Structure 1
Amino acid sequence: MAGFPIHQLDKYLKVLVQEHGKLVAICDEFKTDVKNLPFQRRVTRVVSPGTLIDERFLDPFHNNFILAITESEEGKFGLAWLDVSTADFQTSECADAKSVRDEIARIAPREVVLVHDNIYPPEHPISEAIRRIQAVNSQISMPEEITNSLGVEETNVSAAEFSAINLLTGYLSTRLLEHMPDMHVDAPQHTDKTMHMDAATLAALEIRETNERSTRGSLVNILRRTVTQGGARLFVHWLTAPSTSIPLIRARQSIVDLFLHRSFLHQDIRMIMHTSIGDVLRTLQRISLRRNDVQDLLEIRDFIQAMDQILDRLKSETSAPVSGSELNEWMLRCTSLHELGERLGEAIDERVMQKRMEQQAALSKQFDSLYDTGEATTETVDVPKVRKQRRVPVSMPLLLEEPLWGDDIEHLIRPDSSPLLRTLTDQYNECRAKARILENSLRQRHEEHVTLKFLLGQGYIVHFPSPRSTALDESLTLAYKTKTTRTFYHPEWSKIGMKLQKLRDQITECESRLLDTLRLEVLVHSSTLRRNARLLDQLDVLQSFAQAAKDLSLVRPHVDESYELDICDGRHLGVELGLMEQERLFTKNDLELGQNARLHLITGPNMGGKSTFLRQNAIIAVLAQAGSFVPAGAARIGVVDAIFSRVGAKDDLFHNRSTFMVEMSETADILQRASSRSFVIADEIGRGTNTSVGLAVAFSVLHSLAARIQCRTLFATHYYELADMLGFGQDQPPSPNLSQQVAFFCTNLVKHGEVLWFSHRVRPGVNRDSHGLVVARLAGMPEDTMELATKTHAWIVQHGRAHIDTHGLVQDVLKPQP
């Protein structure tokens, strides 16, 4: 495409790349030393969805990852993913395709790179995951030579991970082209000490988005109180990959607790971050790729100054005896770059930068308005109207009082910050003073308002505002004459003007070199700046947790090595806020799982709150291990290595799979991958087939979870027969060992007169009535249909549903009433 202004490039990249997933090749023009070929054009970058660098439409609150996946001959998968805009770089190794599918769901990359030889069929888990997150799928050949453009050594990663890094590097070199040599990333971060959540669990718990694919109502949306872009991105990462390290979890909680109880400190930190911290990681990446401007250097200056302010504020607060060692440890990891900040502040004139930005924005807005309305053409030129100059009476003063000719140079770099720039500026002003002296002498000599000017096409000339003939200075040579004005060449003015132009060019070149020196100095400290930025992102997330704890009445959980989940007055934040909008209250519930029984069998009516209860306890475990406080009265969380969910299902028509098939596939994953430290929430397993088969499947799954895997499980079902099969209420249960692992809980439907309402209270016991007929009636089913359903249900209960006489059933329920 051509023929549109360069400042509108982002507009077209957003449409073509981000919205439609196309590739866009950008071609730039360069000067050459060849006489017949003054300019050369070449492709300098190919933009793809995963290789965006600094485009304005990039979402500042989410990473823009590109993920490379390789498969070894042994069947292991290597993963390497990078956000080009921030240099966030991580690697992982997966043992099977299903684990890769879950990583794809957690990472949510915009582009996935595969090797041509490893193109997976549509029904493959990797293909399914890529399609589900709507990522662009790119394929290239595996690079033959091992490149090291990302600076990662093979000794730091596994062979599978290094293969993925090699693929990612090879692909980036075909897209970033001339920007690739300057690409720098930190050492890859591994994900081996994080809680595992598969794709189904991330969707069921609505971590990033709700089941309606909306961010409103998601856990991230409800809980986030970050004030920086980097903090917002890290917040999402912490919630999708909670830690399993107890020391790390407790350190995070201690800082959250400190902020929560010291509100003045908390608000001061928030204010400094809000007013002074930009997107530092993306700014550093622009600087490293030579795509920065002076404003980016000012942003680095502001970040350094804000970091010093935060450290000073924390030091003054943490000098008290009650201060936590965790915050002191955080401060020790920070490195002050006060001298670099001072140099940037002393060198760059922020006022000039702000003025130029305002002028550029005004010009861009003016052109856009013309361009969008179709009024801008190649002939469109904004030429100001020239008013006729009136002859100035001779009585007006001729001599100019200002000592210098022309306008001051708007220095981006303050002259006092460089001896050379100071010298050039002084010489420039000396020439301006000579020009003013010459101008006044010419005015005095000719008694006219003579001015010294520079005109395109004429050069440095002396301008006379009248056409009348006077005794001219013999050194003046006529350049141009109209009916109203005359212009002349003057040798002294030509000499001064040429020197002014030369000095201006030297000043511009000197400023450019000084700015590049500042850029290189920033790059020298880039590792420290990145570390400080990541530490500040952590502090932002922790203060966000503290603000959420205050706003949402969250409490600090106790996290330990036990196998228990003890939660008092637990709540589901999303459901609670939804009920608050309807002016209704949420029913809190307790959970004691793991000490006396590792599996709770939960029965109860439809809409009784079973699914909400399952989800809220899983979310509490996620928040606790992310370092956040939790929505409960009190909580004790034994570390969970993975959360698996089997909640809700629908047909997968693309793969020709029924609801029951989808349900069984997810259940099979749980039984194959869960460990004794995992937490499983299972809802209505076996409901997608006939009663006897569904009951058999539900019992076998329950038995495997409780007896073989022995993981903590909340098992919600309408098959109350499972309680009988496990010996509920019997003196001699069929399987004593299994019965010791299972506890029975239920919800109920409460009736007050003619009013029915769901208590949503989870209590010990078994509910043998689903109250489905009540729910169907509330949903507006026709009355005659409900009467027939009631009679049919009564007949089945009376005669037993294991062996139904279908002929007798139809005859009895359809018999005319007398």
Structure 2
Amino acid sequence: MRQYNQIKGRHPDTVLLFRLGDFYETFGDDAVATAKACGITLTKRNNGTAGEIPLAGFPHHQLDTYLPRIVRAGHRVAVCEQLEDPKQAKGIVKRDVVEVVTPGVVLYDKLLDHKSHTYVAAITGPTKNDPNCGLAVADISTGTFTAGDIPMDKLAAMIESLQPAEIIVDKDQRGWWEPLLERLPFTPARTRLESWIFEQEFATNILLRHFQTASLKGFGADSLTRGAIAAGVVLHYVSETQKGALSQITGLSILSSDTTMVLDAATRRNLEIHSSMSGDGTAGALISIVDRSVTPMGGRLLRWWLQSPLIDIKRIQKRHEAVRGFVRDQHTLTEVRAISAGIGDLERLMTKVVTNRATSRDLVGLRSGLQQLPKVKETCTASLFDAVRDLGEKLNAHQSTVDLLQRSLRDEPSLQIGSGQIFRDGYDAALDDATNALLHGKEWIAAYQERQRTESGISTLKVAYTSVFGYYIEISNTHKARVPEHYDRKQTLANAERYTTVELKEFEQKLLSAESTVTSLESRLLDELRQHISSDCAAIQKTATLIATIDALAGFADVASAYGYVEPVMTEETALEIVDARHPVIERLLPHGTPYTSNTVLMDTEKEQLHILTGPNMSGKSSYLRQVGLIVFLAHVGSFVPATSATIPLTDRIFTRVGAQDNIMAGESTFLVEMQESANILNNATKRSIILLDEVGRGTATFDGISIAWAIAEYLHEVIGAKTIFATHYHELTSLADQFHRVHNLQVEVREVGDEIVFTHRVVRGHSDHSFGIHVARMAGLPPAVLATARAVLVQLESGQHGPTELGRTATAERHRLEEAGQISLFEVRDDGLRDRVRLLDINNMTPLQAMQALVELKDSIDE
């Protein structure tokens, strides 16, 4: 246990998987954690004077099964391997940790989502001379590596958008990062490192040594300060866990809050971009509509775009141009998507190659994917549209790599090294000879068995093999007297004897030598093949990014074609005009044949800056707000939008405050959260922002709520000047339009038909004087007596006579009146279905006699 204890001492915060022969063993607390996470048996072994120690283990070939379970249980895992052949070792076999798997540093397929990144991040705080923070993230499974200098007030939002699985922090600087991480709406693993790792000189040298450059200028990162330190910290940490295996990280991109739109957690949640508020995952979220990607790389890139909408108008227009080309060239769109579906995950396959994890099947998968590139290139370059053609012309077919893989590997190679079934015949002469000896050995055994049967006259004689005794001749006891004299007894069984011969021994030596040779050659040739392909890693990664871009843009075009989206006109002016706007998700969730009620949105910062939106519950106010936000968001991502036409001004931020989101576990009330989100908006919005507010102030007393809502609206008009839609039940706010020239009232149209109300979902000019709350309550099924009392109290409230005593008397009097009139009691709900029966009458096609009969039946129902 001395060797184990030494290695465990170097990795105290991990579960140490210690290789012992064909098993990975764990001891002590690690064994308890492993047994619990993996559902395997926990045993004990005697440890001398230390007493018994818990023990748990599993076969080495099940590492891919059990290691992910341990990591998912929240543990870091250190994998300790045998570094020499136990048969040739002198004394204790050399062992050491070859990798450490953490929540953010992982290469195991079962821990990766094929359409999402798994990031490890590092953050550095501001200094006296530099107010910015540093943020860097890496996904070692794809080679993605990006860093930036981020303003402190935007850091949390950037982290929220990237959702790293693990964040590295300076253990001596928790005063600044702990409050930040505590406020995050998710819980990444925290890794605390020593302060010297965060020193600028150390971190910068790590980067320069890795990229083998004199500066970061070639990456456009020479101006990075705090971000460069964070990048160096990430690279150091990943290098330590992966024992220097970082060949897949070939470049560093810049993460900037100046070129991308920063969305806070509330806005992402309220717009339901990545997940729905109903808790059904992506179902009902925007991504479920716009993700038409057919490659894993395209799916990951799309999520990156949704995390980081552009605010560079030229880059936005470039994406729109490509989507337009695909929309107008449906043949190219269909062909490209069909071909791309067969490409696979080039990024992660290349990572397996450079980290020496790629199996023969992985290499065949890479070959198959690369073989599709010329078809994509040919299809795109044949397009009549420049943007699509340009994408195709940039594609590298990597023909030399494809040729090498095609020349070397069989069509369906074996996974087993030493099988002789991995490489094509003729690829390596020495391997061919050894493989022939191995394969012909089986033929020799069959022929030898037949010859021995003939010579001995024993028809049941058989030649077989075990790993313990090697090759042998087995003869049952009934034929023992006929055994040839030159047979040497090897083993005695209950009903048979096993023998060998000089000839069989000689053959066995040749065969074992051939097996060893094949295993050695196939292992070496695979290593050489991986190394050769690794030299093309950076180029293939660039190609993978380009394929991902084509896939994501083609996906946007497919959505636009299927659902009737239009290309938005991006402008640096301030006017927002969306004609016949539709909610991209809700319109797809409506029952088949149900039309969606579209609305036109007209706003600017000069005349139509702030809209006060009134209307009853269930009328569609919140959906209208989200619809506007999602259309502006989609335009900045590069997608077409659900409308007849759209002019979208370049927008720096989208802010939403829609619905109550309690944080009870943190001790925060609905109103506190509401005010925190409102404060965030007022402190960070600019004139180029779009603000969507719903029911601000409703979490407190009515007069307090009205006062706060009024003050916020006035501040937005007078100070910030951002385009704002303010949905409210406080009808007093509609008076703002009389005092401020850029404030206008909108209402969700409601039609009253008798005692019924009909929601048209149309937004029109004007304001609503009623919330129709009692009508909605009736639709929800409240007892008629409750509704009647509510109407009586409402009349008194509207008359201004609403002291507690007066209201109590009114409620009591109404209840007595209903009881005396013999109407339905408070606890009895009568559901006679009369309204439904009337609605179903087709009066336009009824004869007078049929109409009279229907009337009689209705009257009889009432009399009953």
- TM-score under structure 1 normalisation? 0.82
SS at match of 1:555: coil
Q: 1:643 aligns with which of 654, 662, 667?
A: 654
Aligned to 1:109: 164
1:605-620 aligned within 5 A: 605-620=616-631
Give CA deviations for 1:429-455 in whole Å, capped at 9, x if unaligned: 899999999889888877778988766
Aligned to 1:662: 673
| Residues 504 and 543 of structure 1: CA distance in aligned 2, closer, same or farther (over 3 Å) | same
Aligned to 1:167: 233
Q: Please give the alpha-carbon distance, in whole angstroms, between the structure 2 residues aligned to 1:183 and 1:60.
A: 17
Give CA deviations for 1:44-80 in whole Å, capped at 9, x if unaligned: 3332221221232422122111222221323532111
Q: Which moved more, 1:457-466 or 1:780-789?
A: 457-466
Q: Please give the alpha-carbon distance, in whole angstroms, between the structure 2 residues aligned to 1:430 and 1:41.
A: 38
Contact residue 446 and residue 470 of structure 1 kept, 8 A: yes
Q: Which letter maps to 2:305?
A: W
Unaligned 5+ segments in structure 1 are: 358-407, 728-733
Contact residue 750 and residue 758 of structure 1 kept, 8 A: yes
Q: 2:407 aligns with which of 330, 342, 346?
A: 346
1:564-583 aligned within 5 A: 564-580=575-591
Shift of 1:617: 0.9
Aligned to 2:283: 216
Contact residue 31 and residue 38 of structure 1 kept, 8 A: no
1:648-797 aligned within 5 A: 648-727=659-738, 734=739, 738-739=740-741, 741-797=742-798
Q: Which letter maps to 1:671?
A: L
Aligned to 1:91: 147
Contact residue 250 and residue 538 of structure 2 kept, 8 A: no
Q: Which letter maps to 2:793?
A: T
Aligned to 1:390: none
Q: Which letter maps to 2:664?
A: L
Give CA deviations for 1:602-635 in whole Å, capped at 9, x if unaligned: 1222222111111101101111121212111221
| Residues 35 and 791 of structure 1: CA distance in aligned 2, closer, same or farther (over 3 Å) | closer
Contact residue 686 and residue 693 of structure 1 kept, 8 A: yes
Q: Please give the alpha-carbon distance, in whole angstroms, between the structure 1 residues aligned to 2:795 and 2:749.
A: 20
Aligned to 1:43: 97
Aligned to 2:424: 414
Shift of 1:160: 0.9
Q: Please give the alpha-carbon distance, in whole angstroms, between the structure 2 residues aligned to 1:431 and 1:611.
A: 76
Shift of 1:550: 2.8
Contact residue 646 and residue 682 of structure 1 kept, 8 A: yes
| Residues 133 and 409 of structure 1: CA distance in aligned 2, closer, same or farther (over 3 Å) | closer
Contact residue 435 and residue 496 of structure 1 kept, 8 A: no
The question of 1:29 aligning with 2:82 is answered yes
SS at match of 2:426: helix
1:89-488 aligned within 5 A: 89-96=145-152, 98-119=153-174, 124-129=179-184, 132-144=185-197, 145-146=202-203, 147-148=206-207, 151=211, 156=221, 158-174=224-240, 176-178=241-243, 180=245, 182=247, 184-191=249-256, 192-214=258-280, 215-274=282-341, 276-315=342-381, 317-318=382-383, 323-353=384-414, 410-422=420-432, 424-425=434-435, 456=467, 467-468=480-481, 487-488=499-500
Q: Please give the alpha-carbon distance, in whole angstroms, between the structure 2 residues aligned to 1:437 and 1:589.
A: 84
| Residues 353 and 752 of structure 1: CA distance in aligned 2, closer, same or farther (over 3 Å) | same
The question of 1:527 aligning with 2:581 is answered no
Q: Please give the alpha-carbon distance, in whole angstroms, between the structure 2 residues aligned to 1:291 and 1:195.
A: 38
Aligned to 1:402: none
Q: Please give the alpha-carbon distance, in whole angstroms, between the structure 2 residues aligned to 1:142 and 1:167.
A: 10
Q: Please give the alpha-carbon distance, in whole angstroms, between the structure 1 residues aligned to 2:304 and 2:491.
A: 70
Give CA deviations for 1:660-696 in whole Å, capped at 9, x if unaligned: 2222211111112112211111112222233333333
Q: Which moved more, 1:418-427 or 1:659-668?
A: 418-427
Contact residue 564 and residue 593 of structure 1 kept, 8 A: yes
Shift of 1:333: 2.4
Q: Taking every aligned residue pair, what percent have the same amino acid on both sides?
A: 27
- Over the aligned positions, Cα root-mean-square deviation in angstroms equals 3.4
Shift of 1:714: 1.3
| Residues 116 and 470 of structure 1: CA distance in aligned 2, closer, same or farther (over 3 Å) | closer
Give CA deviations for 1:249-284 in whole Å, capped at 9, x if unaligned: 23322332333333333232222222x222221221
Q: Please give the alpha-carbon distance, in whole angstroms, between the structure 2 residues aligned to 1:433 and 1:814.
A: 100
Q: Which moved more, 1:425-434 or 1:47-56?
A: 425-434
The question of 1:66 aligning with 2:120 is answered yes
Q: 1:806 aligns with which of 794, 799, 803?
A: 803
| Residues 724 and 511 of structure 1: CA distance in aligned 2, closer, same or farther (over 3 Å) | same
Q: Please give the alpha-carbon distance, in whole angstroms, between the structure 2 residues aligned to 1:134 and 1:45.
A: 24
Q: Please give the alpha-carbon distance, in whole angstroms, between the structure 1 residues aligned to 2:498 and 2:803.
A: 114
Give CA deviations for 1:731-757 in whole Å, capped at 9, x if unaligned: xxx4xxx40x22321113211233311
| Residues 444 and 61 of structure 1: CA distance in aligned 2, closer, same or farther (over 3 Å) | same
Shift of 1:515: 1.3
Contact residue 559 and residue 637 of structure 1 kept, 8 A: yes
Contact residue 54 and residue 286 of structure 1 kept, 8 A: no
Aligned to 1:378: none
| Residues 202 and 496 of structure 1: CA distance in aligned 2, closer, same or farther (over 3 Å) | same
1:547-562 aligned within 5 A: 547-562=558-573
Contact residue 134 and residue 228 of structure 2 kept, 8 A: yes
Q: Please give the alpha-carbon distance, in whole angstroms, between the structure 1 residues aligned to 2:645 and 2:729.
A: 30
Q: Please give the alpha-carbon distance, in whole angstroms, between the structure 1 residues aligned to 2:419 and 2:143.
A: 38
Shift of 1:784: 4.1
Contact residue 749 and residue 771 of structure 1 kept, 8 A: no
Q: Which has the higher contact order (CA 8 A, sep 6+)?
A: 1
Q: Please give the alpha-carbon distance, in whole angstroms, between the structure 2 residues aligned to 1:7 and 1:115.
A: 37
Shift of 1:464: 7.8
Q: Which moved more, 1:427-436 or 1:768-777?
A: 427-436
Q: Which letter maps to 1:13?
A: L
Q: Please give the alpha-carbon distance, in whole angstroms, between the structure 2 residues aligned to 1:230 and 1:806.
A: 65
Aligned pair count? 738
Q: Please give the alpha-carbon distance, in whole angstroms, between the structure 2 residues aligned to 1:810 and 1:774.
A: 20
Shift of 1:527: 0.6
| Residues 121 and 311 of structure 1: CA distance in aligned 2, closer, same or farther (over 3 Å) | closer
| Residues 25 and 32 of structure 1: CA distance in aligned 2, closer, same or farther (over 3 Å) | same
SS at match of 1:257: helix
Shift of 1:775: 2.1
Contact residue 120 and residue 126 of structure 1 kept, 8 A: no
Contact residue 645 and residue 681 of structure 1 kept, 8 A: yes
Q: Which letter maps to 1:627?
A: G
Give CA deviations for 1:93-132 in whole Å, capped at 9, x if unaligned: 3222x42221122111222222212335999343120xx2
Contact residue 479 and residue 489 of structure 1 kept, 8 A: no
Q: Which letter maps to 2:145?
A: F
Q: Which moved more, 1:597-606 or 1:529-538?
A: 597-606
| Residues 796 and 510 of structure 1: CA distance in aligned 2, closer, same or farther (over 3 Å) | same
Give CA deviations for 1:435-491 in whole Å, capped at 9, x if unaligned: 999889888877778988766555566788954558867xx766668886663432x
Q: Please give the alpha-carbon distance, in whole angstroms, between the structure 2 residues aligned to 1:806 and 1:121.
A: 51
